[in-house]
C-alpha cells in the first residue's frame, strides 16, 4: 500500500496542508495520506497549541476525507519527534512517500539519520513561495546520490502558513477560510479569542 506520511507541527493545521495532501494523494496515486502531528519538533520549540490540541485539530480538519487519516504515534511517544522513528514504525506496513515542504527537503541532510530515511522513502516536495516568488527546488549536493527519490508535488501555490495563522490569531484578526470551520470552532472552544 502506497501511503503519504505528512508530518509537521500543524500549529494549527490550515487549508494549505489539506490542499497539498490532496494533490499528493492524487498525483502519486497514494492509497491514503496519514497526518502525523509532532509532539515536539527538533527544529521548533514555540507552540501556540499543545500536542493534544494539534492532534484534535487535525482529526477535525480531515474528518470528511476517507483517504486522510491521523496518527498519534509521535504525540503518544512524547519528547522530540524524529522522522526516522516514524519511518521505521510505518515502513513495516507501508510503502512510504514522505510529504515535506521545500525548506525541509533542502535541509533534510541535517535530519537525524537522513540517509537511512532516504533509503526507505520517496520524498514528495511542495514548493514554497518566498517573497512572492516560487522558488525552484534543488536537491542538496550532499544528497545528490538520492536525487531520484525527490519528486515535486504539482499543487497550487498557497501562500498560507501556520505562522501566518498564529500571527493573525494573536493580533485579533480573522483566520476564517484559512483553517477549516471545525478547526476555527475548536480554537474558540479552547479559549483563544477568534474573530469570524
Query: Is 168 inside any structural domain?
Result: no
pLDDT tens over the chain, length 196 residues: 999 999 999 999 999 999 999 999 999 999 999 999 999 988 777 899 999 999 999 999 999 999 999 999 999 999 999 999 999 999 999 999 999 999 999 999 999 999 999 999 999 999 987 777 888 899 999 999 999 999 999 999 888 999 999 999 999 999 999 999 999 999 999 988 777 6
Asked whether residue 191 is assigned to any structural domain, the reply reads no
Residue 115's pLDDT is what?
97
Which run of H or E residues covers position 79?
Answer: none
Q: What is the DSSP string of 88-120?
A: HHHTTT-EEEEEEEHHHHHTGGGSTTHHHHHHH
| Residue 196 belongs to some domain of the structure | no
Among all chains, which residue has been given the C-alpha cell 487535525? 58
Question: Which letter does DSSP use for residue 65 in this model?
Answer: -
- Identify the domain containing residue 153 by its residue range: 2-160
For the chain, helix (H) and strand (E) counts, in that order, are 8, 8
Our CA dihedral for 135, 131, 25, 94, rounded to 10 degrees, sits at 70
Give the Cα separation of 126 and 99 in Å (integer): 8
The answer to whether the CB of 117 falls within 8 A of the CB of 108 is: yes
Judge contact between 111 and 83, C-beta under 8 A.
Answer: yes
Cell numbers for 107: 535541509
Residue 166 lies in a domain: no
The predicted pLDDT at position 129 comes to 78
Q: What's residue 43's pLDDT?
A: 76
- Is 96 inside a domain boundary? yes
How far apart CA 165 and CA 87 sit, in angstroms, is 29
Q: 175 lies in a domain?
A: no
Residue 128 pLDDT: 81
66 inside domain: yes
Q: How many separate domains does the chain show?
A: 1
**Cβ proximity of 125 and 150 under 8 Å:** yes
CATH code, 30: 3.40.50.620
Q: What share of the chain is helix, strand, coil (3-state, %, to 5)?
A: 40, 20, 40
Q: Looking at residue 196, what is its pLDDT?
A: 66
Task: Give domain status of residue 150, yes or no.
Answer: yes
Distance separating alpha carbons of residues 93 and 59, to the nearest angstrom: 22
First to last CA, the chain: 40
Amino acid at each position: 500500500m502506497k501511503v503519504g506520511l505528512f508530518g509537521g507541527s500543524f500549529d494549527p493545521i490550515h487549508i494549505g496542508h489539506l490542499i497539498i495532501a490532496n494533490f499528493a494523494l492524487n498525483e502519486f496515486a497514494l492509497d491514503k495520506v496519514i497526518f502525523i502531528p509532532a509532539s515536539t519538533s527538533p527544529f521548533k520549540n514555540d507552540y501556540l497549541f499543545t500536542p493534544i490540541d494539534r492532534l484534535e485539530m487535525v482529526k477535525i480538519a480531515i474528518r470528511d476525507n476517507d483517504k486522510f487519516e491521523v496518527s498519534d504515534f509521535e504525540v503518544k511517544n512524547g519528547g522530540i519527534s524524529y522522522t526516522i522513528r516514524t519511518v521505521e514504525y510505518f515502513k513495516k506496513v507501508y510503502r512510504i512517500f514522505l510529504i515535506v515542504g521545500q525548506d525541509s527537503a533542502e535541509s533534510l541532510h541535517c535530519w537525524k539519520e537522513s540517509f537511512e530515511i532516504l533509503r526507505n522513502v520517496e520524498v514528495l516536495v511542495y514548493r514554497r513561495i518566498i517573497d512572492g516568488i516560487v522558488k525552484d527546488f534543488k536537491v542538496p549536493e550532499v544528497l545528490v546520490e538520492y536525487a531520484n527519490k525527490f519528486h515535486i508535488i504539482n499543487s497550487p501555490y498557497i501562500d498560507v502558513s501556520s505562522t501566518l495563522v498564529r500571527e493573525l490569531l494573536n493580533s485579533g484578526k480573522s483566520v476564517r477560510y484559512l483553517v477549516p470551520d471545525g478547526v476555527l470552532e475548536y480554537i474558540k472552544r479552547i479559549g483563544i479569542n477568534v474573530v469570524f
